[in-house]
């Protein structure tokens, strides 16, 4: 079963995307993909800034979270994130739905990295940290204590 998920990851996600932002073109390269079971069902998304040019988009669909590692050819301004995020979600949602639909039917694991296409050390560290947290049943989000 995992082979089918790897195949979907390679065929659907291993790509470079070009977006027009204002008067310039920005190239976003998908470098990694991780799928993990979520604690509850729902729909949500988050961005995690890993470096100035590397971001992880986490999309929760039903009982899964799909983490997508994205590398930009240049740093994006904060106000550009909304437009880029919208364009990314529009482009990637059908692909994420395909992956999650297949995973719902047959995937039994807690979390797996499905695509690792030349990720930087920082992205790898982020992905393996998320992978370990999911496999241990811990929340992938940092917890802070009230003083």
**Percentage of the chain lying above the pLDDT 70 cut:** 94
CA contacts within 13 A on the Cβ side of 93: 8
Entry pTM: 0.90
Q: Are 18 and 40 in contact (CB under 8 A)?
A: no
SS3 (DSSP) at 110: coil
Q: Where are the domains of the chain?
A: 2-136
- Which one, of 16, 39, 12, lies nearest residue 101 by Cα? 12
**Percentage of the chain lying above the pLDDT 90 cut:** 58
DSSP 3-state percent helix, strand, coil across the chain (nearest 5): 40, 40, 25
Per-residue tokens: 31: 């470098």
pLDDT tens-digit map of 17-41 = 998 877 878 899 999 999 999 988 9
pLDDT tens-digit map of 3-21 = 889 899 999 998 899 988 7
How far, in Å, CA of 115 to CA of 92, rounded? 15
How far, in Å, CA of 2 to CA of 112, rounded? 9
Q: Which of 80-84, 90-94, 97-101, 119-123 has the lowest mean pLDDT?
A: 80-84
Cβ burial of 59 (10 Å; 0-12, 13-18, 19+) is buried
Per-residue tokens: 72: 């930009």
pLDDT tens-digit map of 94-105 = 999 999 999 999
SS3 (DSSP) at 63: strand
Q: Does pLDDT of 60 surpass 90?
A: yes
């Amino acid at each position: 079963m995992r082979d089918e998920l790897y195949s979907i990851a390679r065929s659907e996600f291993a790509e470079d995307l070009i977006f027009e932002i204002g008067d310039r073109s920005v190239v976003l390269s998908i470098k990694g993909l991780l799928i993990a079971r979520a604690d509850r069902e729902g729909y949500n998304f988050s961005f995690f800034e890993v470096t100035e040019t590397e971001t992880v988009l986490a999309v929760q669909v039903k009982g899964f979270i799909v983490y997508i590692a994205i590398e930009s050819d240049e740093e994006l301004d904060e106000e550009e994130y909304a437009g880029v995020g919208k364009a990314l979600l529009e482009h990637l949602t059908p692909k994420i739905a395909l992956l999650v639909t297949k995973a719902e039917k047959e995937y039994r694991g807690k979390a797996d990295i499905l695509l690792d296409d030349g990720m930087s050390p920082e992205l790898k560290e982020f992905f393996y940290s998320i992978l370990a947290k999911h496999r241990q049943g811990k929340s992938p989000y940092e917890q802070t204590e009230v003083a």
